[in-house]
């Protein structure tokens, strides 16, 4: 364990963790067992990333992954229906279709579409936003590469991305209520920017099922998609002292995951999430199966509960 990781935990107010670095091997051991119990599939299942796998071209994969990440909220089946009906309209080469589309084409594609509180007009704005990035930078990859180069930190990048999206919506789709534009383009420090983190994981992480399309992402910029299960277990395990699932929460969890596995900080997030999804660790303490849980030797909960 490097001193820089320890210092980072101390900077984040995680002194307890920094002082118990001797515990790290035990946590690693437990998480490796958990990862064997809930192995990450090599091709995505029940995951919006599956849509990107339908295309061979990296630009199509990137555009589809980016679009799907914006809609990655709510029930997985509902997300599937929403993205599916959109992709049907974009055809077999969504990246090219977007570049060549006129505003009338975009209007036609979004006509009659709605996903929960995201109306067709907001989807029109999203498609126009992506087309604008591709037109001005040549590709989404080139756009993000430029953002990385001009940002001093991951937080700066996430904030610039969110603010630019909100500005774009104000100028080009003013009929979309600001609250919906803010939902689509959250910013730190209030938000952990989960959906942007998902997209970045898909396109930067090299291990399957992630696509590993980009090689320019700075290694220290660990961007963890914090879902409800990871948030719950991070609090239960004392990985964070935050009540709000905000940007600092994301940074604290990212620091611990980096300390646990510096070469692949997102190695364990799938297994942790599935510990919650499977209800092996239930929100109701009396329903938790601590006796057969791979985390029982490190989790502070069984000790606290006697």
Residues near ligand SF4 (CB under 6 A) are 280-281, 288-290, 293, 295-296, 299, 301-302
Cβ proximity to ligand SF4, 31 vs 213, nearer residue: 31
Helix (H) / strand (E) element for 61: namely helix 58-70
Output the smallest distance, CB 299 to ligand SF4, in A: 3
- For residues 181 and 169, is the Cβ–Cβ distance under 8 A? yes
Output the smallest distance, CB 296 to ligand SF4, in A: 4
Annotate 186-218 with DSSP letters as a single string: --TTT---HHHHHHHHHHH--STTS----S-S-
- For residues 292 and 280, is the Cβ–Cβ distance under 8 A? yes
Output the smallest distance, CB 49 to ligand SF4, in A: 26
Cβ proximity to ligand SF4, 101 vs 277, nearer residue: 277
How far is the C-alpha of 144 from the C-alpha of 148, rounded, in Å? 6
Cβ proximity to ligand SF4, 74 vs 285, nearer residue: 285
Output the smallest distance, CB 226 to ligand SF4, in A: 17
Determine whether 135 is exposed, middle or buried from the number of CB atoms within 10 Å of its CB (0-12, 13-18, 19+).
exposed
Cβ proximity to ligand SF4, 122 vs 295, nearer residue: 295
Q: 15 in helix, strand or coil?
A: helix
Cβ proximity to ligand SF4, 118 vs 281, nearer residue: 281
Output the smallest distance, CB 305 to ligand SF4, in A: 8
Positive/negative CA dihedral, 259, 260, 263, 265: negative
């Amino acid at each position: 364990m490097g001193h820089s990781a320890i210092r980072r935990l101390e900077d984040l107010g995680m002194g307890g963790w920094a002082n118990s670095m001797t515990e790290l091997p035990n946590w690693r051991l437990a998480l490796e067992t958990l990862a064997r119990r809930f192995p990450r599939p090599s091709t995505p299942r029940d995951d919006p990333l599956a849509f990107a796998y339908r295309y061979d071209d990296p630009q199509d994969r990137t555009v589809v992954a980016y679009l799907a990440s914006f809609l990655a909220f709510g029930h997985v089946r509902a997300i599937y229906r929403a993205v599916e009906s959109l992709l049907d309209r974009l055809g077999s080469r969504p990246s090219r279709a977007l570049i060549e589309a006129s505003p009338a084409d975009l209007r036609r594609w979004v006509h009659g579409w709605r996903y929960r509180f995201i109306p067709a007009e907001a989807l029109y704005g999203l498609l126009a936003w992506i087309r604008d990035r591709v037109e001005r930078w040549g590709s989404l990859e080139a756009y993000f590469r430029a953002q990385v180069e001009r940002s001093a930190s991951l937080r700066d990048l996430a904030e610039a991305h969110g603010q630019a999206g909100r500005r774009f919506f104000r100028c080009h789709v003013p009929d979309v209520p600001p609250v919906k534009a803010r939902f689509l383009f959250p910013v730190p420090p209030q938000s952990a920017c989960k959906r942007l983190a998902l997209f970045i994981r898909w396109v930067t992480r090299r291990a399957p099922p992630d696509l590993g399309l980009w090689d320019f992402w700075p290694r220290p910029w660990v961007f963890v998609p914090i879902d409800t299960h990871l948030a719950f277990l991070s609090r239960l395990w004392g990985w964070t002292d935050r009540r709000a699932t905000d940007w600092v929460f994301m940074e604290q969890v990212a620091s611990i995951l980096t300390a646990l596995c510096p070469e692949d900080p997102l190695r364990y997030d799938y297994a942790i999430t599935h510990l919650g999804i499977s209800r092996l660790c239930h929100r109701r303490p009396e329903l938790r199966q601590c006796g057969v849980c791979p985390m029982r030797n490190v989790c502070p909960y069984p000790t606290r509960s006697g």
